Amino acid sequence: QALLQESGPGLVKPSETLSLTCTVSGAFIRSGGFYWGWIRQHPGKGLEWIGYVYYTGSTEYNPSLKSRTTISVDTSKNQFSLSLRSATAADTAVYYCARVFYQSSGSYFKRIWFGPWGQGTLVTVPS
């Protein structure tokens, strides 16, 4: 069973880059079949998908965050990372990494689900 663990600074200054890493154990990112993604949850709010990466480096991002987001993968370390540039107080949230199953065969019947998840890490950007 895959286990995921987020790591990174809990405090980021406004206008700087929010950077997090997710370390995967119990599974190999390079095995394929799954994507590896990031989801965030603003305090007291719902879930927001940020994006995902495949072991090949192929990525997909939420259009609302795409201009500021980079998700990368390091298969040698079995890790993937999130960079969110020009952080503001609106980026204060708990950030989760998760294994992602995504399948698209044409315009319809797209499948996406997230599991397992990391425990999450709170990142605060002061206003």
Q: Which positions lie near another protein, rule CB under 8 A?
A: 46-49, 60, 62-64, 96, 101-102, 104, 107-120
Residue with the two structure tokens 């980079």: 70
Peptide bond into 116 cis (omega under 30): yes
Residue in 22, 32, 37, 30 with CA at minimum distance from that of residue 99: 37
Rounded distance, CA 45 to CA 55, Å? 30
**Minimum CB distance to another protein smaller for 18 or for 98:** 98
Rounded to a whole number of angstroms, the minimum distance from the CB of residue 81 to another protein is 19
Rounded to a whole number of angstroms, the minimum distance from the CB of residue 49 to another protein is 4
Rounded to a whole number of angstroms, the minimum distance from the CB of residue 76 to another protein is 26
**Minimum CB distance to another protein smaller for 15 or for 58:** 58
**Minimum CB distance to another protein smaller for 75 or for 116:** 116
Q: Are 92 and 124 in contact (CB under 8 A)?
A: yes
